[in-house]
């Protein structure tokens, strides 16, 4: 039975991913992998500028802490992506992510329209969770691509970021349920 990697390779005798790493054969999946890496790198870099604006508008201490912790992780995601690019012998470059640009623009509009307080905190959580879900979708897809391409190191790096994005999303849900939403409902 042919493995998924063999189905993708022009030379099925090659170990998984080997040809693609050396540039002897770039499969369509490898092209997509690289394109999606550029997309998420652009998104992560945009978030380095966007998250501090959310922090400056937040009033819940738990929300400020969650966003501050995740900002540190976002820096780590960027360095991790550079390592992933290295596993495929590519320089870390970006392509504008229209989806993230839109999500960040929505968050900015929401914050411009609201005063600091519980309503704004709940709105920031909503916006941040939409952003986390985009990242979870992208890292989940990239991890699966890396698995199919036999890029073991890349897969494990992407898995680490995927887990941190999921944890950040869960933390935001916790912050909402443990106070912010009730406070917004009461004001």
Q: Which residues bind Fe ion (CB under 5 A)?
A: 44, 74, 77, 135, 165
CA separation for the pair 25, 48 (Å, rounded): 35
Q: Which residues, 6+ apart, have CB-to-CB distance to 142 below 8 Å? A: 33, 36, 37, 40, 84, 158
Between 117 and 167, whose beta carbon lies closer to Fe ion? 167
* CB of 165 vs Fe ion, minimal distance in Å: 5
CA separation for the pair 29, 154 (Å, rounded): 14
Name the residue number minimizing CB distance to Fe ion.
Answer: 77
* CB of 108 vs Fe ion, minimal distance in Å: 17
Between 18 and 144, whose beta carbon lies closer to Fe ion? 144
* CB of 57 vs Fe ion, minimal distance in Å: 18
CA separation for the pair 183, 175 (Å, rounded): 11
Residue 90 in tokens: 């590519």
* CB of 140 vs Fe ion, minimal distance in Å: 13
Between 60 and 74, whose beta carbon lies closer to Fe ion? 74
């Amino acid at each position: 039975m042919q493995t998924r990697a063999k189905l993708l390779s022009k030379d099925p005798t090659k170990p998984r991913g080997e040809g693609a790493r050396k540039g002897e054969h770039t499969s369509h999946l490898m092209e997509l992998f690289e394109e999606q890496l550029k997309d998420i790198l652009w998104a992560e870099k945009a978030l380095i500028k966007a998250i501090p604006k959310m922090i400056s508008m937040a009033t819940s201490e738990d929300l400020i802490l969650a966003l501050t912790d995740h900002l540190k992780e976002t820096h780590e995601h960027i360095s991790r992506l550079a390592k992933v690019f290295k596993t495929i012998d590519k320089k870390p470059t970006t392509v504008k992510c229209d989806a993230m640009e839109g999500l960040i623009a929505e968050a900015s509009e929401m914050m411009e329209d609201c005063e600091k307080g519980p309503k704004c905190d709940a709105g920031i959580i909503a916006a941040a969770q939409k952003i986390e879900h985009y990242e979870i979708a992208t890292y989940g897809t990239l991890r699966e691509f890396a698995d199919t391409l036999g890029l073991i190191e890349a897969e494990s790096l992407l898995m680490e970021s995927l887990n941190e994005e999921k944890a950040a999303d869960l933390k935001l849900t916790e912050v909402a349920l443990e106070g912010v939403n009730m406070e917004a409902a009461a004001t």
